[in-house]
């Protein structure tokens, strides 16, 4: 739903439209992991993100009904638009 600073009573931000999305805390954390792809990451940073996302997918599967069913590596690869082999070689073996 489009929103603006004017609608929130903040005239100094009236020229900045934004989209407000309602997320659960779990979805917000997952979104932070999966959309933080603007700068080049080290292998360690990628591994930590995969570990965090894997934990969320295993612990709260009901929060992610749109991801494909199947193996965890398939779900992560679909979400991150990476190959399964890249996911498997980057993530710690106990994670995937």
- Report pLDDT digits (tens) over 40-76: 888 888 888 889 999 999 999 999 888 777 888 888 8
Residues paired with 76 in a beta bridge: none
Distance in angstroms (rounded) separating the CA atoms of residues 54 and 1: 30
Q: Is residue 73 one of the residues assigned to a domain?
A: yes
Q: Across residues 78-95, what is the average pLDDT?
A: 74
Q: How confident is the model at residue 95 (pLDDT cuts 50, 70, 90)?
A: low
Q: Are 76 and 50 in contact (CB under 8 A)?
A: yes
- Please tell me the pTM assigned to this model: 0.66
Containing domain of residue 84, as a range?
Answer: 24-90
Average confidence score pLDDT of the chain: 79
Q: Is residue 1 one of the residues assigned to a domain?
A: no
What's the confidence (pLDDT) of residue 55? 93
Domain count, the chain: 1
H/E run at residue 46: helix 43-59
Q: Is residue 10 one of the residues assigned to a domain?
A: no
Q: Is residue 15 one of the residues assigned to a domain?
A: no
Q: Is residue 77 one of the residues assigned to a domain?
A: yes
Query: 77 Cβ partners below 8 Å, 6+ apart?
Result: 83, 84, 86, 87
């Amino acid at each position: 739903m489009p929103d603006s600073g004017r609608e929130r009573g903040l005239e100094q931000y009236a020229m900045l439209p934004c989209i407000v999305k309602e997320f659960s805390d779990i979805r917000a954390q997952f979104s932070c992991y999966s959309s933080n792809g603007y700068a080049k990451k080290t292998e360690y940073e990628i591994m930590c993100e995969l570990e965090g996302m894997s934990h969320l997918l295993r612990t709260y599967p009901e929060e992610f009904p749109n991801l494909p069913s199947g193996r965890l590596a398939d779900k992560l690869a679909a979400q991150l638009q990476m190959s399964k082999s890249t996911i498997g070689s980057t993530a710690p073996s106990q994670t995937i």
